[in-house]
């Protein structure tokens, strides 16, 4: 069943039930829509797009921060037959221009935060974009755009009747860019449908569940995790503004049962509990059955501490990448907490291999590149056959991540292939050092990169962010690192903030640019 049909079915079965809740604690705002309203908004927007000349296969850019209209807009684009192109809301004007022109978008939906960025590049976009749609407070609608509120308030809301095939184009998702310039990952409807059933199979969502969604919806990870609730017509909460208090308060008041957290957020909750800034007894958390983490390596010490505070809660780690329709090609699996630290086993209907640089399968416990194969593999990078050929081979996707597989078949992330530090001929994996640094009680965050060295080629440099008010010296950190093998010990310490993208991944290109 296509995801556009799943929405229609949810509206028929659960029309008056809540579909989406939006909360903004900073301004004490809460609003919600039902499945019937969700369905009508999407239909009205699809009718509008078709009325402007959008045809099957045309591309429509979606440039919005998370709000209650993001998903209705997204489904409206899909129901029109067009391909949705969600963009990173942190993109500057030049990235917006480059991505919009690359996909030759005919439509562009944007929020109020992007007006100035668009104005600066609009002359370059006008040869491609024929419709600009503004989603935000009506008073700020620029004269070059039509108002989304006006479009859907008086628009036709009946089923549009476009026939969508599983092989039709559905989305172009741009990679996070943590290893270079973002590339457009092209999906068909069949990959999005598979993501629904994969996520539901892994986390057992039922109609009574409530999913807390905090990460940005433009990212495949956030949306594909939401798909597990979506496929059973369960409600979800979109939370804007993240703090330990706002997360626990939302879980408590909205009776959230499942939350996908990024490492920094889970870490902040633990720190706030340790410092007694918040207290668990102030919140109703009994119904919170599952916390899962993905998008970046998870320090085992973090989950050990989490389990002390939430001993009865289920836990899962999800590994994935945009090229594999987001999370789930590998997952730890509920009930495998004895393997905390591993990324897990192949997900439902996925296969995995660990290979050497020559493509030979590695023995157990020997590191190699992770290859994955399954129904969620992308069609390729949009208009980039050379890059597609470099990572796709006979149905296998080369992830660029270095892993090892233990005797029980569980995969352990060693590092990204591009992040390996070669110092004096030794291969050094930053993730191992980062995980060790995070065992220090006074370290809030850590990132390890290689810096040029005339003698060794590269040396290990650690960028460290300390917890507030902790007066830790460089000597103390270096003493702590004596427990590491000599070749892994940082030769340079840098006390600075660790830059992370909206999905929590360390932005190592920024660090290399800053400190090289």
| Mean pLDDT within 156-185 | 82
Same domain, 180 and 54: yes
pLDDT band for position 87 (50/70/90)?
Answer: very high
Centroid of chain to Cα 84: 17
Same domain, 48 and 170: yes
Q: What is the pLDDT of residue 182?
A: 73
Q: Considering Cα of 215, then 218, then 224, then 226, what sign does the dihedral take?
A: positive
Q: What is the pLDDT of residue 74?
A: 98
Q: Which domain holds residue 350?
A: 242-416
Report helix, strand or coil for 208.
coil
pLDDT band for position 435 (50/70/90)?
Answer: confident
Rounded to two decimals, what is the model's pTM?
0.83
Report helix, strand or coil for 212.
strand
Residues with Cβ within 8 Å of residue 379, at least 6 apart in sequence: 186, 187, 188, 191
Q: What is the CATH number of the domain that holds 306?
A: 3.40.50.12780
Residues with Cβ within 8 Å of residue 432, at least 6 apart in sequence: 414, 415, 488
Report helix, strand or coil for 89.
coil
Answer whether residue 237 is part of any domain: no
Same domain, 430 and 393: no
Same domain, 112 and 171: yes
How many domains, the chain? 3
| Mean pLDDT within 355-383 | 94
Answer whether residue 110 is part of any domain: yes
Half-sphere exposure (Cβ direction) of 176: Cα atoms closer than 13 Å: 24
CA dist 253 and 213 (Å) reads 15
CA dist 134 and 61 (Å) reads 12
Instruction: Write the pLDDT tens digit of every residue in 187-245.
Output: 999 999 999 999 999 999 999 999 999 988 998 888 999 999 999 999 999 999 889 99
Please tell me the total number of residues recorded for the chain in this structure.
Answer: 516
Using alpha carbons, list the distances in angstroms from residue 324 to 155, 182, 374: 36, 15, 8
Here the tokens at position 386 are 């050379």
Same domain, 489 and 387: no
pLDDT band for position 178 (50/70/90)?
Answer: very low
Same domain, 391 and 258: yes
Closest-CA residue to 112 (of 149, 138, 94): 138
Instruction: Write the pLDDT tens digit of every residue in 309-354.
Output: 999 999 999 988 889 998 899 999 998 988 888 999 999 999 999 9
CA dist 469 and 450 (Å) reads 28
Q: Considering Cα of 76, then 242, then 438, then 333, what sign does the dihedral take?
A: negative
Could you write out the DSSP letters of every residue in 9-38? HHHHHHTTSEEEEEEEGGGTEEEEEEHHHH
Q: What is the CATH number of the domain that holds 104?
A: 3.40.50.980
% of the chain exceeding 90 in pLDDT: 67
Same domain, 368 and 252: yes
Same domain, 409 and 432: no
Same domain, 482 and 406: no
Same domain, 386 and 431: no
Instruction: Write the pLDDT tens digit of every residue in 5-47.
Output: 999 999 999 999 999 999 999 899 999 999 999 999 999 999 9
Instruction: Write the pLDDT tens digit of every residue in 398-431.
Output: 998 889 999 999 999 886 667 778 776 567 878 8
Answer with the residue of higher pLDDT: 288 or 160: 288
Answer whether residue 196 is part of any domain: no
Return the residue matching tokens 């460089």: 474
């Amino acid at each position: 069943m296509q995801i556009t049909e799943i929405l229609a079915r949810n509206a028929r079965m659960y029309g008056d039930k809540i579909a989406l809740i939006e909360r903004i604690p900073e301004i004490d705002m809460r609003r919600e829509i039902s499945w019937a309203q969700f369905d009508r908004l999407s239909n009205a927007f699809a009718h509008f797009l078709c009325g402007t000349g959008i045809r099957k296969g045309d591309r429509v850019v979606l440039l919005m921060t998370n709000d209650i209209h993001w998903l209705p807009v997204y489904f409206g684009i899909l129901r029109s037959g067009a391909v949705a192109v969600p963009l990173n809301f942190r993109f500057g004007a030049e990235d917006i221009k480059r991505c919009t022109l690359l996909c030759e978008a005919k439509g562009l939906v944007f929020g109020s935060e992007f007006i100035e960025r668009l104005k600066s590049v609009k002359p370059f976009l006008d040869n491609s974009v024929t419709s600009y749609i503004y989603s935000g407070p009506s008073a700020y609608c620029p004269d070059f755009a039509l108002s989304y509120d006006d479009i859907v308030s008086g628009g036709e809301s009946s089923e549009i009747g476009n026939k969508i095939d599983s092989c039709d184009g559905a989305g172009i998702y741009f990679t996070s860019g943590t290893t270079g310039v973002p590339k457009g990952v092209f999906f068909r409807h069949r990959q999005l449908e598979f993501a629904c059933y994969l996520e539901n199979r892994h986390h057992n969502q039922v109609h009574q569940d409530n999913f807390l969604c905090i990460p940005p919806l433009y990212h495949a990870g956030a949306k594909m995790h939401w798909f597990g609730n979506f496929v059973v017509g369960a409600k979800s909460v979109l939370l804007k503004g993240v703090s330990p208090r706002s997360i626990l308060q939302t879980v408590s008041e909205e009776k959230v049962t499942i939350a996908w957290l990024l490492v920094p957020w889970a870490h902040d909750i633990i720190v706030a509990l340790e410092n007694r800034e918040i207290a668990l007894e102030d919140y109703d958390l009994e119904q919170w059955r599952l916390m899962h983490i993905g998008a970046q390596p998870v320090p085992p010490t973090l989950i050990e501490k989490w389990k002390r505070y939430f001993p009865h809660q289920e836990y899962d780690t999800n590994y994935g990448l945009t090229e594999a329709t987001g999370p789930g090609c590998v997952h730890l699996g509920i009930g495998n907490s004895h393997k905390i630290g591993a990324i897990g086993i192949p997900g439902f209907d996925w296969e995995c291999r660990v290979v050497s640089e020559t493509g030979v399968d590695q023995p157990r416990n020997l590191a190699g590149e992770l290859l994955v194969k399954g129904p969620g593999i992308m069609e390729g990078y949009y208009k980039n056959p050379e890059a597609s050929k470099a990572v796709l081979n006979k149905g296998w996707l080369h992830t660029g991540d270095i892993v090892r597989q233990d005797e029980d078949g569980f995969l352990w992330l060693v590092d990204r292939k591009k992040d390996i530090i070669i110092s004096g001929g030794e291969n050094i994996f930053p993730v191992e050092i980062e995980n060790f640094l995070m065992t220090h009680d006074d370290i809030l965050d850590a990132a390890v990169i290689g810096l040029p060295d005339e003698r060794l080629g590269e040396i290990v440099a650690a960028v460290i962010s300390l917890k507030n008010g902790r007066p830790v010296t460089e000597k103390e950190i270096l003493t702590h690192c004596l427990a590491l093998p000599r070749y892994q010990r940082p030769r340079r310490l840098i006390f600075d903030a660790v830059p992370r993208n909206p999905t929590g991944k360390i932005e190592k290109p920024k660090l290399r640019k800053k400190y090289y």
